[in-house]
Amino acid sequence: MTKRALVLALAASSLAAAGCRQGLYNQQKMRPFRPDPIFADGTSARPLPAGTVPRGFLRDDRALDFGQGPDGKFVTEIPVPVTKDLLLRGRARYDIYCSPCHGRSGDGLGMIVQRGFKRPPSFYIDRLRNERIGYFFDVMSNGFNQMSSYASQVPVADRWAIAAWVRALQFSRSAPVALLSDHDRQELKNAPAAAADPIGAGAPPQEPPK
C-alpha cells in the first residue's frame, strides 16, 4: 500500500506540474514578430523609447569617453589616475594592438610595416610629442588615415592605459639626463649610437598624408 500510494502521489504531482506548465504556456501573450491590433503600427514588438541608453553606455563624461574637454578640444591630462599598474596594462595592450604597426618602441617600424605595410609616423616626431593626450585616445577610438577604429576591440579604460604608455615611450626618449641615476647615465654613455636614435637606425620620420 505504501508503494502504491507513493506512485499515485508522484503521478498526481506530475499531472499538476504539467497542467501548470500548460497554463503558462498557453496563456494570452504576444509572440515575437506577430502582429498586434492594439497598437497603431500593428506590431507587437515595441520600439525603445527615445533617449534609451543601455546600462553602462551612458557616456556622459566627455573627457573620459571622448578625450575632449568642455570646449570640444582634446584634453591635455589623462582623466584617470596614472599608476604603475595603469602603465603596465597600457604596455601589454599596446604590444598586442599597436606594436604590429607602430613597433614596440614606437618608431613606426612594426613587423607589418617591415612586410610592406605603410609606415605610420614615429611617436618621437615633434608634432606627436607636442600633441594633446586626448588626440591619441581619439585616434584609437575613431581611426586615422589607414588606421581603423579600435573602439570595438579596446575598452575605454585600456585606451587610456595605452595613451599613458605612449606618453611614457615619448618621455623615455626626451627625459633630462639629470633625472637619471649614475648607473643609468653610464649605461646611456656606453650605448651604441643606433640605440639612442628615436626614429630607428637613422631613418627619417614620416608624416601621415594630409
If DSSP states are collapsed to H, E and C, what string results for the chain?
CHHHHHHHHHHHHHHHHHHHHHHHHCCCCCCCCCECCCCCCCECCCCCCCCCCCCCCCCCCHHHHHCECCCCCECCCCCCCCCHHHHHHHHHHHHHHCHHHHCCCCCCCCHHHHCCCCCCCCCCCHHHHCCCHHHHHHHHHHCECCECCCCCCCCHHHHHHHHHHHHHHHHHCCCCHHHCCHHHHHHHHHCCCHHHCCCCCCCCCCCCCC
Q: What is the pLDDT of residue 24?
A: 67
Q: What is the pLDDT of residue 33?
A: 82
What residues does each domain of the chain span? 62-196
Mean pLDDT by 10 residues, the chain (210 residues): 70 64 70 84 87 86 96 96 97 97 96 94 96 98 94 97 97 86 87 53 40
pTM above 0.85, yes or no: no
Of the candidate CATH numbers 3.30.365.10, 3.90.1150.10, 2.40.70.10, 1.10.760.10, the domain formed by 62-196 belongs to: 1.10.760.10
